[in-house]
Chains A and B, each alone.
Chain A
């Protein structure tokens, strides 16, 4: 949430990224229960409607699933959903690489950046190698 690079996003977007990051770093595992909207709002000191919006987004992204009466839980990695997400992300990565080339950044530098970014993420990822 406090990560500088995301500071220009809307609060709910930051919260969504925060949860996703916690999943990739292994802090949250599939089947873990997320705090209720109220509890989360208290924790991050945000309007509950903002938190509700974030939870809805997470659900739409198939990252979190709502079990009626029980709460919100981290979803099992769903191959089909992940593939769909990957298809969305790939053009973004291509675009970034293109821009880097256009800016005169060498491939080696880009690979170095990737290594740093992954190192910062830490832990294992739940990803599927494509």
Chain B
């Protein structure tokens, strides 16, 4: 099964929030969705699940347009943390709502997951602490048995153990059940190891779609110090300066082939040490232009 988002566009109050968003999402993939605050990550998820009617484009499940086959929306789940309808319901009531609407929902599994965290089914959702609320949402996502799940900031403001629990749940769901996740998050460290691909949302469109492992095979982040203050051409053309600390440059080379490598050596750096390439580096490279100015949206 493959979910395709095709040229999705949406304007709110006259402002174009989503311009031309397209990407493919295979089953069993974990996609990260990354961007500056307010760029439209949540809007994208809401548009994908028809909470906002897309004005252009559409979402397809294996060539079937979801707007023409609304029953297929059962295969996509997004619990919007800003618009929860069940804040005043107990866990048992929530389970019932989901069981009656999502055909594949497994109420028994939800009960077991709640029990694992010592949550009584009679507890009201709104009375739980933030961490437990996040676990309940995760439990609903898992028990729904829906193949494509959208998570919106699942790590936001949670303690280490709860974050680990969520990561563990995602990994298990992908490995055991072939579930797929689209995770919008600012927690780049968690996404780093978890995501197969990361989508960068910028100016209402997906500006980059990195397959992390492939990128890590080709790309390199180097700590460079040169004899002169002048920045060598190879760095300016093939690399992107992420950070400058005095004479020390942190440069990202997205395609560090032997030619580039030779050119760097030819520039005779005083220091050239490889550094681990993290998602935050890619984030910096995306939203920061070469003069070091931070870019919004």
Contacts and interface: CB of A to CB of B under 8 A. Distances in A.
Direct contact of A and B (CB under 8 A): yes
Interface of A: 7-13, 37-38, 41-42, 44-50, 53
Contact size range, B: 20 to 34
A21 B40 CA distance: 44
A8 B176 contact: no
A53 B171 contact: no
Contacts of B29: 49
A8 B276 contact: yes
Contacts of B277: 8
Given A7-B276, A8-B221, A8-B277, A47 B172 contact: no
Contacts of A49: 28-30, 174, 196
Contact of A42 (B172, B196, B217, B221): B172
Nearest to A48: B175
Q: Is the interface of B mostly helix, strand, loop or mixed?
A: helix
Contacts of A50: 193, 196, 213
B171 A45 contact: yes
Contacts of A12: 213
Given A8-B221, A11-B216, A45 B275 contact: no
Q: Is the interface of A mostly helix, strand, loop or mixed?
A: helix
Contacts of A13: 216-217
Interface in B263-281: 274-277
B171 A41 contact: yes
A48 B276 contact: no
Nearest to B256: A8
Interface string B45-73: 00000000000000000000000000000
Contact of A47 (B30, B176, B216): B30
Contacts of B276: 7-8
Closest 5 A/B residue pairs (Cβ): A10-B216, A38-B175, A8-B274, A7-B276, A48-B175
Contact of A10 (B172, B217, B221, B275): B217
A47 B193 contact: yes
Given A8-B276, A46-B193, A47-B194, A53 B213 contact: yes
